[in-house]
Amino acid sequence: MDVIGSNRAESTKVVAVVIPSDIVARKFVNSGALNVLERQTRVVFLASRDVTVALPGESVVVDLKFMESAFARRLDLLFWYHSFYVYLKRNGLEYRNTIKALSMKLMVRRLHEVLSMPILSLVVDKLDEWYFAQDENARAALATIKPDLLVTAGSALDSYSHIVLKTASKLKIPTLMVISHWDYFSKKGLLRFKPDKVYVWGDDMKNSAIKFNEVSEADVMVVGAPQFQKYLAGMPEKNAAKDELGLDAEKNWLLFPGSGIPYDELSVLKRLSELLVRSNRSDIGIIYRPHPRAWARKTKEKINLEDLKNVVIDKPQQGEGQSEAHYQKLISASEGIVSPYSTMILEGALCGLPALCVCFSDNLNIWDFAQAEAQEHIWPLLERDWVFSCSRSEDLEVVFLKFLEKIFDPQFRVAVRGQVRSTVYFDENTFAERLYEHIERDFL
Mean pLDDT of 38-65: 94
Percentage, residues of the chain above pLDDT 90 = 64
Q: Is the pLDDT of residue 387 over 70?
A: yes
In the predicted structure, residue 72 carries a pLDDT above the cut 60: yes
Task: Tell me how far apart the alpha carbons of residues 276 and 268 are, in angstroms, rounded to a whole number.
Answer: 13
| Assigned CATH class of 14-64+135-228+428-442 | alpha beta
- Is the pLDDT confidence value at 187 over 70? no
Tell me, what's the pLDDT at 201?
A: 96
Q: Is the pLDDT of residue 5 over 50?
A: no
pLDDT at 115 (0 to 100): 83
Range 144-160 average pLDDT: 88
pLDDT band at 97 (very low <50, low <70, confident <90, very high): low
Give the integer Cα–Cα distance in Å for 339 and 253: 14
Dist CA 8 CA 275 (whole Å) = 62
Q: Which of 379, 374, 377, 387 is nearest to 345 (CA)?
A: 387
Q: In whole angstroms, how far apart are CA 123 and each of 109, 118, 126, 155?
A: 18, 9, 5, 26
User: Cβ–Cβ contacts within 10 Å for residue 265, how many?
Assistant: 25
Work out the average pLDDT over 127-134.
Answer: 86
Same fold, 14-64+135-228+428-442 and 233-420: yes
Q: Which pLDDT score is estimated for 288?
A: 97
Helices (H), 17-98: 22-25, 35-40, 70-90
The domain covering 233-420 belongs, at the CATH homologous superfamily level, to Glycogen Phosphorylase B; (3.40.50.2000)
Q: Residue 190: pLDDT band by 50, 70, 90 thresholds?
A: low
Q: Where are the domains of the chain?
A: 14-64+135-228+428-442, 68-131, 233-420
Q: Where is 255: in which H helix or E strand?
A: strand 252-257
Does the pLDDT of residue 313 top 60, yes or no? yes
pLDDT band at 166 (very low <50, low <70, confident <90, very high): very high
Output the 3-class SS for 384-417: CCCEEEECCHHHHHHHHHHHHHHCCCHHHHHHHH
The larger pLDDT score, comparing residue 393 to residue 375, is at: 393
Query: What pLDDT does 244 receive?
Result: 94
Confidence check: pLDDT of 162 > 70: yes
Q: What is the reported pLDDT for 2?
A: 40
The predicted model gives 371-378 an average pLDDT of 84
- Rg for the chain, CA atoms, rounded: 23
Q: Rounded to an integer, what distance in angstroms lies between the CA atom of residue 316 and that of residue 156?
A: 22
